[in-house]
Chain A
Amino acid sequence: MPWDEGLVNSLVYEGPDPSEGRILSYAKAINEAFAIAMEHDPSVIVLGQGVDDPSAMFGTTRGLQARFGGARIFDTPVAEESIMGVCTGAAMNGLRPVYMHNRPDFILLAFNQLVTHASKVHFMDNGQTNVPMVVWAAIGRGWGSGAQHSQSIQGLLLGVPGLKIVMPSTPADAKGLLLSAIADNNPVLVFEHRWLMKKDGVVPEGHYRIPLGEGVVRRRGTDLTVVGASHAIELASQAATRLAKEGIEAEVIDLRTVKPIDEAIIEESLGKTGRLVVVDTGWAMGGVCAEIGCLAAEKWFHLLQAPVRRIALPDVPSPAGFTLEQFYYPDVERIQAIMRGLARQ
């Protein structure tokens, strides 16, 4: 087993309670969502580099080609801009493409089609054409693959009107949000996190959707609010569990969708706690943390009892080396320390 695979396998998550329902891994939950969406709607197609290869995009596309055929799920040339445009044109004409990338970094080659075309078509032609497409990618971390294979690019896309951005953290959400993203009539980005792919969770059977733009309270608390999505909120949840043993009760809000942002759920929580920590897998500057921090300053200043804290990446590219990575990424201990500091402030 390659060392990086071993790393992902060694991650420990709190085990789900089997009495609460069927347990599935995150990747299998996504796989199930694809099968349901393709079964349910013949206009859904899935494409991307290697979606039909033996590793099947972390297992998320396994078995789909055998079941739905090579016309509906297929490998693509290594040509991100054109394929993003092909998806846009296909979506404008009756298909629902899901374009998969094993790293978000590769989407940067297709920004012209994504940012300047797909996101704007509906506005530019005065609502005559919809662009129902999903752009899916898995954020890398801890692979030694460094600055060009580990980027979290949601911050770069947050300010683009017309896009939606989904970042699940649990298997059940990964399935329900993907089904919503595929059914949505707009371009939706779904950013998964490589480190969540083997996380298990209780996943309902069959078809269900989790609405885009609705966060969820993962843990109730009154001392401070921590808000974020994806693997960042998973780490923050772990930190919150540890803090509870110290007598600090954090309220943990998983946004699930970072665009549009569920403002109401944050505001309600801040009304109780008066303290806000924002976590993200991307850079702190100009990203999800910055936007939510700004919302707090602009709209909820009267609720704040302490400065807002951001826990995200420094204004530095991702390093490749193992030791440098330990300094770069916030871990549970660091998150816990910052949350503790804010609670006591």
Chain B
Amino acid sequence: MTPTRTLSCITPPFILTRLLDSDNVEIRQAALATLLTTAQLRGERSVRGLIAGALATPADGRRSIFDCAHSTYLPSARLTRSENDEPVQDASVNRAYDGFGTTRAFFQEVFGRNSIDDRGLPLQGYVHRGNRYNNAFWDGRQMVFGDGDGQVFLDFTGSLDVIAHELTHGVTEHTAALEYHNQSGALNESMSDAFGSMTKQWLLRQTADQADWLIGAEVFTPHIDADALRSMKAPGTAFDNKLFGRDPQPDHMDRYVQAPDTEDGDNGGVHLNSGIPNKAFYLVATGIGGNSWEAPGHIWYESLKASTQTTDFQAFADTTYDKAGTLYGADSREQRVVKEAWAGVGIQITTAPTLGRG
């Protein structure tokens, strides 16, 4: 490492992370050397993660895609494409394979996270699950995708942010393990939407201003008048049609939906109230400006790792404020934007400023 240049030590860690991804080997080595030697950052858990990520072998997070052939019984599914296999005839298989690859690379290169569990967990996907199945889910170990009924919904592998949403459920399970009901459940959903949207923005190299902030824009058939399943930019506006009405997601605590904690109530409205932290993340990303996966993504990722099973909106908001101070300095612009963003959705930060911890 001695002959390698180091980059200016005021280079923010998220810039160095991007440089680890550079095609130029000198830039990559300089970024790595800087991360290793910058005194300000030495010992930071996040930086150790970045370095581990940069050095991880490509064998980690190996992909296997299975064809369910319309069965709901996963053990009978046929392995159709494994890591390093050439593309196959089946487009759903290839989309799942590529979507996992993009999401894996996003977590690796941006956050230094080695697959779902940060220990290289193999990525297993099941496509063509069930008959006309209008859904995608994470079953606790693997990701499962339906073809859609062809009337309302299309194949759920068609949307990268949906694939990344499901994979992020695994990441959340291996970090905060947010309980899947009420506010912790809505936060769990919001993490999947935020990291799902960031994955797409990162692939497309879109800034926060350029991104559409839609989740599942590709899952509807052309007959359906709907932009997407959800909008993080404007929760409550993703659809408005005769068949299933207007998008019921709230974008502010004033409109928080008190739904029963049952399956009929979507476990306390986890897919509804996620609109509130979704909007907060959008406000942070556009308020800070530039790429969502840089400072905004790092604040959210560190806060996810610092959260617990029962973290609610208020506790998560306070944690993001604290992490923004730790990462970018007390009373930094980033920290002020975080505070304003949560206020914008009706949540006032209650943590005292973390002076001297920047």
Q: Do A and B bind each other?
A: no
